[in-house]
Amino acid sequence: LSRAIPLSAPEDIYPAERGASVAIESETGLTITIPEVNPGDYQLTGLQLNSASQYRLRIRTIDSEEYLSNFITLKSSPAIDSVTWKADPEGVTIYVHTHDPL
């Protein structure tokens, strides 16, 4: 989690948002806290959400600023059809190919 920075800022400066409270909230009132595992990195594994419910993200910074997303319905990720790669002078680009019938 980091703050937006001006386009003129050096590319390697992305200030981590440390000490924030990050949570997923359901429309039914369930709150799932996402812990900070490293400074500015918030992670939760093994999360099982109900696809019939709507969820939003709530972020409260250490300075008490609060950000809320809209409630949204979950969308299942489509199956991966293939993974390919392409080498170029700057490195390797990895492509993941999927399709969504909806």
Q: How many helices (H) and strands (E) does the chain have?
A: 0, 9
**Alpha carbon distance 32, 23 (integer Å):** 5
Whether the full predicted model's pTM is greater than 0.75, yes or no, is no
- Cβ contact 39:2 at 8 Å: no
pLDDT digits (tens, 9 = 90+) for 17-70: 999 999 999 999 999 999 999 999 999 999 989 888 999 999 999 999 999 999
Considering only residues 2 and 96, tell me which one the structure prediction assigns the higher pLDDT.
96
